[in-house]
Amino acid sequence: MRIVVLGGGFAGMEAVRVLERRLHDRSDVEILLISDRNYLLFTPLLPQVASSMVEPRHIVQPLRDIRGSRRFRFRRDTVTDIDFASRRVLMVEGTEAYDRLVIAMGSVVPSFGVPGVEEYALGYKWLEDGIVLRDHLLDAAEHADHEADPAARRQMLTVCVVGGGYTGVELIAELQDFFASYIVPRYRGIDPGDYRLLLVEAGHEILRGVHPTLAERARRKLGREGIEIRTGARVTRVLPGAVEIDGAEQLPAGLTVWAAGVTGHPALAHVAAERDRLGRLVTRATMQLKEHPDVYGAGDAVTIEDNAGASIPIIPAALAQARLAAENIVAELQGRSLGTIHFAPQGMLVSLGERDAVVEVLGLRFSGYAAWLFWNALHLVKLVGFRKQLQVALDWGMAQIFPRDSTIMRPVSRCPVCGRHAAPRTRERDAA
Ligand SMILES: Cc1cc2nc3c(=O)[nH]c(=O)nc-3n(C[C@H](O)[C@H](O)[C@H](O)COP(=O)(O)OP(=O)(O)OC[C@H]3O[C@@H](n4cnc5c(N)ncnc54)[C@H](O)[C@@H]3O)c2cc1C
């Protein structure tokens, strides 16, 4: 019996963990994990990579370290298709057969067909996005520092974040901290009025799904910090150096970050299975794909039929779905009947930058410094591995004592998001 798990994110790793634990005495069962990245990314801390608060390497855990002495095999490869009829997974570097499959390949950020998103906006999903954004901000600051034209300076230092969900809100709050407490004090050619942060949301409120009192508290806090929030505003085009709102208004922006929702994984777009309007595979309450009982799904890649509450793209939901998928595979092997999903979110935590957050947990709602401490403590505990917990705790502690690190890390001749040259020497070399 061969169980193959696709995706080394929260859902995939949880499925592997449960399968390992429950099948440790079954030497006839082989477990194979396939993922295109060889690490687990702790996404809640990704906004802090952009603001140079935490080191990128500290929020990821190599899959081979997580594996340790466990017996599952790991293959780093990119899944391109699944042939359900012949029970094979197709990858860039070959194929793998399965008897039971768990699809946990996560989601991607949808462009909703808005022109310019693919070309000019930066998605905010993977570790490399955090590194690129951080380097872009520092590079823009280096150029703005000696830019004589105030309008050009402001445009370089304008960041427009599209999407007022928790990712967009947490990211813009981090950027505000970065500009106010790091960039402005250190770059003498940049004044507080030179940077501009915009949060654009097509819906009528930010943080939809968070209790209205907390969402309003977050909105007021961001507004007080000088972040411009535009709700009921639809981005209709992203241009180099600008963003178009409702087909009419063009706002100059040095960078547009696209954090507008989730959609099903493109590698699964052609597989022979039902998808919802967001492109996510539809599972039954048992986490089996509707048409393929030997294939399970979990995490952002799937939606559960008639159960929107248990299908929200957050980590606790991904973990609960993955646990059930793994337990049901074990139940199948043992000839028992399958369980069904019972999941309801227990709360919501949104960081609003340093020393502020809004939290709703088990019906309790609070905000401010206590909420921020709770946010930090919970995320530290949830980080995988003591080493990473220590590294992130040290990053946070050091940030209270020392300035953040402003080294531009990517050795590129051009900034990959705005195309500006990274350094004068390189400009001369490129021109030559
Ligand atoms: C910036 C950000 C902040 C977030 N903050 C929070 C938060 O604070 N709290 C919360 O609950 N949720 C948060 N989320 C949402 C949360 O990260 C997701 O719900 C969760 O990661 C879903 O887990 P998953 O395993 O389904 O997908 P992922 O964690 O995305 O894992 C998918 C895995 O599949 C791999 N993969 C993808 N494509 C392929 C392929 N073709 N071949 C092989 N492998 C592939 C990927 O490399 C990855 O390892 C945040 C998301 C983002 C982007």
Query: pLDDT digit string (tens) for 8-50?
Result: 999 999 999 999 999 999 999 999 999 999 999 999 999 999 9
pLDDT per position as a tens digit, 284-323: 999 999 999 999 999 999 999 999 999 999 999 999 999 9
* The listed CATH number (3.50.50.60, 3.90.180.10, 3.40.630.30, 3.40.50.300) that belongs to domain 2-36+77-108+262-333: 3.50.50.60
Phi-psi sector, 362: left (phi>0), alpha (psi -120 to 50), beta: left
Nearest-CA neighbor of 255 among 324, 196, 333, 181? Answer: 196
Q: Whose CA is nearest to atom 30 of ligand 1?
A: 106
Query: How many Cβ atoms from other residues are within 10 Å of residue 4's Cβ?
Result: 25
Atom of ligand 1 nearest to the CA of 106: 27
Residue 426 has pLDDT above 60, yes or no: no
Query: Is the minimum distance from the CB of 123 to ligand 1 under 6 angstroms?
Result: no
How remote is the CA of residue 318 from the centroid of ligand 1, in Å? 9
Query: Matching CATH topology for 2-36+77-108+262-333 and 117-260?
Result: yes
Query: Is the minimum distance from the CB of 297 to ligand 1 under 6 angstroms?
Result: no
Atom of ligand 1 nearest to the CA of 315: 11
Atom of ligand 1 nearest to the CA of 351: 8
Sequence-ordered strand ranges (E) for 88-175: 88-91, 94-97, 100-103, 121-123, 158-162
Highest mean pLDDT among 124-128, 185-189, 324-328: 324-328
How remote is the CA of residue 35 from the centroid of ligand 1, in Å? 12
What six digits make up the tokens of 307?
């159960």
Average pLDDT over residues 337-362: 92
**Which runs of consecutive H residues, i.e. helices, occur in 5-112?**
10-22, 47-50, 63-67
Query: Rounded to the nearest 5 degrees, what angle is found at the Cα of 317, between the Cα atoms of 130 and 230?
Result: 50
* Cβ 365 vs Cβ 189: under 8 Å: no
Residue 412 has pLDDT above 60, yes or no: no
Residue 119 has pLDDT above 80, yes or no: yes
d(CA 71, CA 212): 47
Atom of ligand 1 nearest to the CA of 300: 26
Q: Whose CA is nearest to atom 48 of ligand 1?
A: 9
pLDDT per position as a tens digit, 355-398: 899 999 988 999 999 999 999 999 999 888 899 999 999 999 99
Residue 423 has pLDDT above 50, yes or no: no
Average pLDDT over residues 81-95: 96
Distances in Å between the alpha carbon of 22 and those of 327, 334, 338? 8, 11, 15
* In the chain, domain spans: 2-36+77-108+262-333, 117-260
Query: Is the minimum distance from the CB of 318 to ligand 1 under 6 angstroms?
Result: yes
How remote is the CA of residue 329 from the centroid of ligand 1, in Å? 23
Query: Is the minimum distance from the CB of 37 to ligand 1 under 6 angstroms?
Result: yes
Atom of ligand 1 nearest to the CA of 41: 29
How remote is the CA of residue 214 from the centroid of ligand 1, in Å? 25
CATH C-level class of 117-260: alpha beta
Nearest-CA neighbor of 50 among 391, 414, 406, 328? Answer: 406
Query: How many Cβ atoms from other residues are within 10 Å of residue 201's Cβ?
Result: 24
How remote is the CA of residue 401 from the centroid of ligand 1, in Å? 32
Structure confidence at residue 82 (pLDDT)? 96
What six digits make up the tokens of 165?
């969900």
Q: Whose CA is nearest to atom 46 of ligand 1?
A: 7
What six digits make up the tokens of 140?
């823009």
Query: Is the minimum distance from the CB of 35 to ligand 1 under 6 angstroms?
Result: yes
Structure confidence at residue 4 (pLDDT)? 98
d(CA 194, CA 226): 12
Query: Is the minimum distance from the CB of 79 to ligand 1 under 6 angstroms?
Result: yes
Does residue 122 sit in helix, strand or coil? Answer: strand
Q: What are phi and psi of 108, to 5 degrees?
A: -130, 165
* Cβ 375 vs Cβ 169: under 8 Å: no
Average pLDDT over residues 150-166: 95
Query: Is the minimum distance from the CB of 46 to ligand 1 under 6 angstroms?
Result: yes
pLDDT band at 404 (very low <50, low <70, confident <90, very high): confident
Structure confidence at residue 410 (pLDDT)? 67
Beta bridge partners of 4: 32, 101
Beta bridge partners of 359: 349, 366
d(CA 358, CA 344): 19
**DSSP-assigned letters across all residues of 144-158:** HTT---HHHHHHHTE
Query: Is the minimum distance from the CB of 254 to ligand 1 under 6 angstroms?
Result: no
**DSSP label at residue 280:** P
Of 33, 105, 321, best ligand 1 pocket probe by most atoms within 8 Å of the beta carbon: 105
Structure confidence at residue 425 (pLDDT)? 35
Of 129, 314, 380, 382, best ligand 1 pocket probe by most atoms within 8 Å of the beta carbon: 314
* Whole-structure pTM value: 0.92
Structure confidence at residue 70 (pLDDT)? 86
Q: Whose CA is nearest to atom 8 of ligand 1?
A: 44
Query: Is the minimum distance from the CB of 42 to ligand 1 under 6 angstroms?
Result: no
Structure confidence at residue 134 (pLDDT)? 93
Query: Is the minimum distance from the CB of 75 to ligand 1 under 6 angstroms?
Result: no
Atom of ligand 1 nearest to the CA of 47: 1
Query: Is the minimum distance from the CB of 74 to ligand 1 under 6 angstroms?
Result: no
